[in-house]
Structure 1
Amino acid sequence: MLLKDKVIFLTGGTEGIGFECAKIYHAAGAKLAIVSNSERSIDEARSTLQSVEVLYLKADVSVAAAIRQAIAKTVDYFGKIDVIHNNAGISNPSKAIHETTADEWDVLFDVNVKSIFNTTRYGIDELKKTHGNILNTSSLVGDMGQEIHAAYSATKGAVNALTKSMALDYAPYGIRVNAVAPAGVWTPMLRAWSQQQPDTNSIENYLDNIHALGYCPEGDVVADACLFLVSDQARFVTGCILPVSGGAELGYRRVLNQTI
């Protein structure tokens, strides 16, 4: 019970990596406030994970007032917050930067980056009380870049920089700040992304091959790493961008070398 009696505020927690995290956090003893902007997604998650120790909140992470209210409801319900896991994110559009519209750019940064600003702004006082921690879901592309995903890669590069800067800012309060950086992970978002790529027929083979371990995993492998980072097992880890990538930073090069 690594997270016994811990209260975790988890955004984007009703599907994909977020829901895998929700399940493993709950199994480890945590109480959860799970945020999603989709009523349908909340209903589907509730059908699998329902408990008096799980509070579902419909809110748009990019809207400050909505997150302020969600934080307040969490504290009213559970009495505290020990962990904020900023997992909510989107990847659209699959375009080069000159093809990306201003609206697409703004939505990407609002969901992937501004959301962290919002949860931290309204949740940091609670974390100071509990000497809690923050976990951000980033991506390997934030460090490596990715073709036809310039705007998305830029948001994840921003998440990485934020993570390190926040780790320095909040260390004096005993608050740790870390990030996980997956490569390919089979989630609803990745499946939708796959259908947007130029060669959809070969995308599964491509995603398997970019990982040095030879396969594209499900979200549970990332959730296991997240469990470690938010728990006291990682009590001396902060400012870390942890790849959970199956060696994809090597695998990309392996695929590239095979095609030359």
Structure 2
Amino acid sequence: MQLLTGKIILLTGGSRGIGFECALKYAEAGAIVVILSNDPVSLATAIAALGSSHSAILADVAVPADVERAVQQTLEKYGRIDVIHNNAGIAHPSSPLHETTEAEWDDVMNVNLKSIYLTTRYGIEALKQSKGCIINTSSLVGEIGQENHAAYTASKGAVNSLTKSMALDYAPFQIRVNAVAPAGVWTPMLREWGQHQNNGQGIEQYMNAIHPLGYCPEGDVIADACVFLASDKARFITGHVMHVSGGAELGYRALLQATETV
């Protein structure tokens, strides 16, 4: 039996990058995946790859009416929701706090943080019925910080603390809440970030060097961890921010090596 057979997973930001890798792995593990995205082109491409048993919903995760509609459509079609994976996120702008505009700050907080509030607000009753779980995609920089990314790191630090509070609030209903925290992962968003850095040509060496395991991975390594967290194998894990980082947060080795190669 596959780990996620019969589970209905609502996945935000599931048409590109880590989210799409998660969608593929969830489907491979036997789940039915409902992808939310505000990008119709990538949404169509993703659902074509997944197949007709899965669903795609065009929605802005920062808009309450869109999220409420997506939850209702999922329940009407499949009758239940077992997992809500809050993966949608943006990293722009690459700037310190005083150079971040109010509009940029609001965009990051709305997509990265408010979206979790909205999916929980509209989806919690379904999760109570299924005794399901919530997975939040965070980032290692939410714990260790990162220069020139004040809004992004603030949003991910908030995701980490929110994950723990949600785990406590919903434990009485047997709902587990966890987060995954990647370091570097090759996604379209990361490659776009690299283009805005001073040493864009050295970004691949840099990204490999910050991971003690020696390489920057693709999104499938995050997806494998999410499959585990969504499954009954993780039935006694809640309130955990799981580093899927290749050891990037450990010791001084990664920092020194990165400095030497960039």
Q: Same fold (TM over 0.5)?
A: yes
Q: CA deviation at 1:27?
A: 1.0
Counting only pairs closer than 5 Å after superposition, residues 95-174 of structure 1 correspond to structure 2 as: 95-174=95-174
Q: CA deviation at 1:250?
A: 2.0
- Cα offsets for 1:177-222 (capped at 9, x unmatched): 0000000000011111110111101111110000010100000000
- Cα offsets for 1:110-156 (capped at 9, x unmatched): 00000000000000000000000000000000000000011100000
Q: Is the 8 A contact 2:61 2:111 kept in 1?
A: yes
Aligned length: 258
Q: CA deviation at 1:255?
A: 3.9
Structure 2 Cα separation of the partners of residues 128 and 33 of structure 1: 19
Letter paired with 2:219: G
Counting only pairs closer than 5 Å after superposition, residues 165-184 of structure 1 correspond to structure 2 as: 165-184=165-184
- Cα offsets for 1:81-120 (capped at 9, x unmatched): 0000000000001101111100000000000000000000
For 1:94, what is the secondary structure of its paired residue?
coil
Q: CA deviation at 1:167?
A: 0.1
1:39 alignment counterpart: 40
Q: TM-score, normalised by structure 2?
A: 0.96
Structure 2 Cα separation of the partners of residues 11 and 163 of structure 1: 16
Q: CA deviation at 1:49?
A: 1.5
2:23 alignment counterpart: 22
For 1:14, what is the secondary structure of its paired residue?
coil
Q: CA deviation at 1:57?
A: 0.2
For 2:81, what is the secondary structure of its paired residue?
coil
1:237 alignment counterpart: 237
Q: Is the 8 A contact 1:211 1:250 kept in 2?
A: no
Q: Is 2:253 the counterpart of 1:257?
A: no
- Cα offsets for 1:40-87 (capped at 9, x unmatched): 1111112322222x0100000000110000000000000000000000
Q: TM-score, normalised by structure 1?
A: 0.97
Structure 2 Cα separation of the partners of residues 243 and 219 of structure 1: 14
User: Which deviates further from its counterpart, 229-238 or 27-36?
Assistant: 27-36
Structure 2 Cα separation of the partners of residues 157 and 250 of structure 1: 18
Letter paired with 2:29: A
2:8 alignment counterpart: 7
CA RMSD in angstroms comes to 1.1
Q: What are the ranges of 5 or more consecutive residues in structure 2 without an aligned counterpart?
A: none
Q: What are the ranges of 5 or more consecutive residues in structure 1 without an aligned counterpart?
A: none
4+ residue segments displaced more than 2 Å: 255-260
2:89 alignment counterpart: 89
Structure 2 Cα separation of the partners of residues 132 and 256 of structure 1: 39
1:50 alignment counterpart: 51
Letter paired with 1:50: G
